[in-house]
Amino acid sequence: MLRAAGVGVGDEVVVPAFGNVEVAEAVVVTGALPVFADIDPVTYCLDAGAVEAVVTPRTAAIVAVHRFGRSADIARFHEIGQRHGLLVLEQGESEAPYDEMAQRRQRASYLDAKLKGVRTPDSGDGHTYQQYVVRVPGNGRPDRDAFARAVRARGVECRVPVKTPVHRLPEFRRWVSLPETELAADETLALPVDASLTKRDMQRIVSACNALGGLLQPAF
């Protein structure tokens, strides 16, 4: 899509660093330069204000990535695109069937009500819970990783959704200020909300997480 729009050598394309490296790689394939902007801490998608702050005369496009079942603020990006003459592209997520999505929301609602000591995800704007991503507050990576190891030891699968932001990878290393991206990479943890989970499974998740309150600072 970038090539078809004429994006190439000498152009810049604004992309998120929180997420898949493939987006930045696609920009490089065209000969353009990926420019990283920070994310919104609630949706984990590109923050419109951060995007506008990195736009230069060389900027040709913005690639907005929908993340974890939350949608990027596409209307704002189109406004920015119109002001600066930029192409706006979206990368979506593969959505679950409607009945499965409803069950995911039901399980997410249960976790929202029962979990303690972690920050549960904001449920606004039609969250489809492709992933149920909590924040483990504390002093950064060691707290989240210790929490994850302890939860797994109690038989609950969990995973770090973004282990390394793209701007930290050797081939894309940039000395840029992305505080929300850095914090999200250090604090986020995805807990299961699959439609196949039983009530007992959900109770096990809550029990495992809530038993670890001593590892955490109070959530706020």
Per-domain boundaries in the chain: 2-91, 98-214
Question: E strands within 49-139?
Answer: 59-65, 87-91, 132-135
Mean pLDDT of successive 10-residue stretches along the chain, which has 220 residues: 93 96 96 97 96 97 95 96 96 80 94 92 86 82 82 95 95 91 94 94 95 57
Instruction: Give the pLDDT of residue 110.
Output: 96
CATH architecture of 98-214: Alpha-Beta Complex (3.90)
Instruction: Give the pLDDT of residue 74.
Output: 95
The answer as to CATH 3.40.640.10 being correct for domain 2-91 is: yes
Question: Do 2-91 and 98-214 share a fold?
Answer: no
Q: Is 208 helix (H, G, I), strand (E, B) or coil?
A: helix
Residues belonging to the chain: 220
Instruction: Give the pLDDT of residue 219.
Output: 45
Q: How many angstroms separate the CA atoms of 33 and 14, rounded? A: 9
Q: What is the DSSP string of 23-56?
A: HHHHHHHTT-EEEEE-B-TTT-SBPHHHHHHH--
DSSP state of 171: G
